[in-house]
Structure formats: structure tokens, C-alpha cells
Amino acid sequence: MTALAPAASPARTPLGSSIARTLRLGVLRAGYEIRVYFRQADAIFFTFLFPVLLFGIFSVAFSGQGNIGTAPDGSGGISQGAYYLPGMAAAGILLSGVQNLGVDIANERSDGTLKRLAGTPLPVVSYFLGKMGQVLVTGILQLALLIVIARVAFGVELPTDPAKWLTFAWVFLLGIGTSAVLGIAISRLPRRGKSATAVIIPIVLVLQFISGVYLSFTMLPVWLQDVANVFPLAWLAKGMRSVFLPESFASAEAGGAWQLGTVAVVLLLWLVVGIVVSRFTFRWIRKDS
């Protein structure tokens, strides 16, 4: 051990402007969180690579069934890969936010990470911003990887109309933001870090099955569609289908159209719900009663 430099001055340094400080620390936290994320093999596999892997499996497994949406003479239509791409994009957004953060924060509460942070002058909002920044960056990388693999390995035709990509941008941003805040909110559910995956993964999995990610949404019974439509994933998947599927597929949707206005409204509502619930229920530690 070496000697410590003597204290510069006994006078206290104030923390400074709270909003600027909160944002600055939020950016620092995001950098820290991203570094930690990519050092955790399980996070990379179950939330980062999982949708890409499933996409590959579905595309290969169902390729023998031929194209979807073909003309009566069997020509045209789109490949199985092209058909699954929007669903996997939506699933990736859900996993990056809800599953990743729900499990991650429950573990951090359990292993003492949050207790340590609670003893520092880190604002709760900076911590949230760090998590959201991590979800945004990993979500972008994940979708980029998925789209590149779809194009290069499976020859999926990507939209060329800039308007489609504009839709993609806002559906992605709204979806990833909603998914992140809902992940923070849901992290309160597991009582212990050990049970976090057991509590959160089934919720996420069921939501994916009823929301048109793995199964075509319109093949579900109407009452199940109605249940799924309460949650944001079905709308996120629909928004992604509007980007990646040909315009002719709109007629096969519930309601016979892409309904992008409703997509935006439902995602926004859930974003607000997520922010309010996170902000008011989040505690660094479970204080005793």
C-alpha cells in the first residue's frame, strides 16, 4: 500500500446542477452498462443472439413449405424467412428490454449491486438512463445483425422505400423505449435473483406466442387476439410487418390494414405506463417494513 495524497481541501464540493448531472451520469452509466453487458455470456446468448438464432431455425425448418402469399398459379409470394423477419425483429426488441432488464435488475437487487449504488450519490434517473442506453445500443446492434443475416444468408428482400425505413425507425425507437421501461418496472416482480428468469421468461414467452411472433396472428382465436392486443408486443410486431412485408399482406391483417396510428398510440400508452410505474415503484433495496 502506498500513502494517500492529503485531502485537497476540507471544504465540501457541491454536486452541481441536478439535471445536467443526472444526464451526464446517465451517459456514463450507459457506457458502463454496455461494457458489462457484453462480458456476460448468458445475456449475449439469451437476449442478444436468441432472435437471430430462432430466425435461422424457422427459415430453414419451414423452407420446404414453399413461399407464403403466392398467386393461385404458385408464383410470387415471399420466403418463410421474409415472413418471419418482422416477428423476430419485434421479439428482439422485447427481449432486449423486458427480459434483459427484468432479469438483470432483479439480479442486481439480489447480489448487492443496487445496495452499493444506493449508498452513492447516483440519481435513480441516471441509473434508468444507463439501462435504457444499454438497451438502445444492444437493440440496434441486434436488429442490424438480424437484418444483415436475413439479407445475406437467407436472401430476404428488404424494403427500398425510404418511407418504410422511416416507419421502421419510429416503431423501433418507440418499441425499444417501451420495452426498456417495462423491463425496469417488471424487475420488481421476482423476490430473489435466483427466481428472476423463472418469473420473467414465461411472461415474455407467452406474450410472444400470442402476439404473432412465432405463430401467424390471424390464425389465433379472436378472443386470444383481443387479449394480445392489450399488450404492446402484438402492435410492435404489426408495425414491423408493415415495414418488411409487401403491401398486399395488409389485407390479411386483423382489420385489413396496418393500423399504424393504433400501433403508435398503444406503444406510447405503454411507454407512459412503464415510466410512471418504474419511477414510483423502483427502490434500490427492499427496505424492511
Partner 1 sequence: MNNIALPDAVVSVRDLAKRYGAFEALRGVSFDIHRGETFALLGPNGAGKSTTIEILEGYRDRSSGAASVLGTDPQSGGLEWKSRLGIVLQSTGEQGDVTVRDQLAHFASLYPNPRGVDETIAAVGLADKARTRIRALSGGQRRRVDVALGIIGRPELLFLDEPTTGFDPEARQQFWSLVHQLKAEGTTILLTTHYLDEAAQLSDRAAVIAGGELVAIGAIDEIGGAEARVPLVRWTEGGTRHTERTRTPAGTVASLSARLGAEPTDLEIYRPSLEDIYLDLVRENAEAAAAEIDADGPTSPTTRPSATDPITEGASA
* Closest separation in Å from C-beta 6 to partner 1: 6
DSSP calls for 97-125: IIIHHHHHHHHHHHHTHHHHHHTTT--HH
* Closest separation in Å from C-beta 175 to partner 1: 27
Q: Which of 64, 72, 74, 121 binds partner 1 (CB under 8 A)?
A: 121
Instruction: Give the binding range for partner 1 (CB under 8 A) out of 71-79, 116-124, 131-139, 232-240.
Output: 116-124
* Closest separation in Å from C-beta 224 to partner 1: 36
Q: Which residues, 204 to 263, sit near partner 1 by CB under 8 A?
A: none
Question: What are the cell numbers at 164?
Answer: 418504410
Q: Which of 59, 99, 110, 278 binds partner 1 (CB under 8 A)?
A: 110
Cβ atoms 150, 110 nearer than 8 A: no
Q: Which of 73, 160, 256, 288 binds partner 1 (CB under 8 A)?
A: 288
Look up cell 423452407; give the residue. 63
Question: What are the cell numbers at 115?
Answer: 445496495
Q: How far apart are CA 212 and CA 254, in angstroms?
A: 11
Interface with partner 1, residue 280, by CB under 8 A: no
Nearer to partner 1, 47 or 208 (CB): 47
Q: How far apart are CA 33 and CA 132, in angstroms?
A: 9
Q: Which residues, 4 to 43, sit near partner 1 by CB under 8 A?
A: 4-8, 10, 12-16, 18, 25, 28, 32, 35-36, 39-40
H helices present in the chain, as ranges = 18-37, 41-43, 50-61, 80-94, 100-111, 113-118, 124-152, 162-186, 196-210, 222-228, 232-244, 260-281
Q: Which of 63, 76, 111, 269 binds partner 1 (CB under 8 A)?
A: 111
Q: Which of 53, 116, 165, 247 binds partner 1 (CB under 8 A)?
A: 116
Interaction mask 168-197, partner 1, x per CB under 8 A: -----------------------xx-----
Question: What are the cell numbers at 212?
Answer: 404473432
Q: Which residues sit opposite 68 in a β-bridge?
A: 78
Interface with partner 1, residue 287, by CB under 8 A: yes
* Closest separation in Å from C-beta 130 to partner 1: 10
Torsion angle, alpha carbons of 110, 185, 191, 131, to 10: -20
H or E element at residue 47: none
Which residues in this chain contact partner 1 in the complex, by CB under 8 A? Answer: 1-8, 10, 12-16, 18, 25, 28, 32, 35-36, 39-40, 107, 110-113, 115-116, 118-123, 191-192, 285-289
